[in-house]
Structures are given as C-alpha cells and as structure tokens.
Amino acid sequence: MITIYHNPRCRKSREGLSVLEDSGKEFAIVKYLEEGLTKDTLEQILEKLAISPLDLVRKNEAIWKEKYKGRPLSESAIIEAMVRHPKLMERPVVVHNEKAVIGRPSSEIHSIL
C-alpha cells in the first residue's frame, strides 16, 4: 500500500497528492498534522528514507529556530521534537512498501510507484 503523509495547506504536498491521484494506484492519506506522528512511525519512515532525523526536519520553521536550532541534539531528541511538533517534518513523504521519498520535487514520487 502507498501512503502519503500530507498537509493539505502545503502546495508541495498538494502537488505530491496529485501525482498519486494521477497514478491510478490505491493510496492512503495520513493528515499527520491532525493525526500526529508516533516515534515508531517516524523511525520507520526514516529507515525507509535512509536519512538521518535532521534531514527530515524543516529547518526554516519558526519552532525549530526558536527551540532547537544550534543546540546539540541526539537523533532521538530530534525525533521527539517532530513527534511534539509534526509541522517540523518535511512534506510530503510518500511510503510504498519498504521505500519512501520526500516529494520535493513531486517528480521524486515516481521513483517508488
């Protein structure tokens, strides 16, 4: 099953959703800002993306700059920050089986369909 971690207010996320709709494949939408993220979910996403937690953080978000930027943080602390503040996660993230991509640009999504 394909899953998109989606923020409807984000243009890039809407573009990613459009790619999935145009693919004709079945997919699930997780509105992670409403539903939240668990530590386990984030760890699974990171493993499938094969990136560090810091690489999944939106570093221009005000909350990152105010609370976390420039501080020595463990990977676990960065994951916990994204659990507390899901807005910090890059979007959209599309997961398909054991692979995942950050859909920026949205054409990246084609690589796992």
Calpha distance 87→57 (Å, rounded): 9
In the set 2, 10, 30, 113, the catalytic residue is 10
Report how far apart, in Å, the C-alpha atoms of 67 and of each of 58, 61, 78, 83 are: 13, 10, 11, 14
Helix (H, G, I), strand (E, B) or coil at 44: helix
Q: Give 111's DSSP letter.
A: G
> Does the active-site annotation cover 10?
yes
Catalytic residue IDs: 10
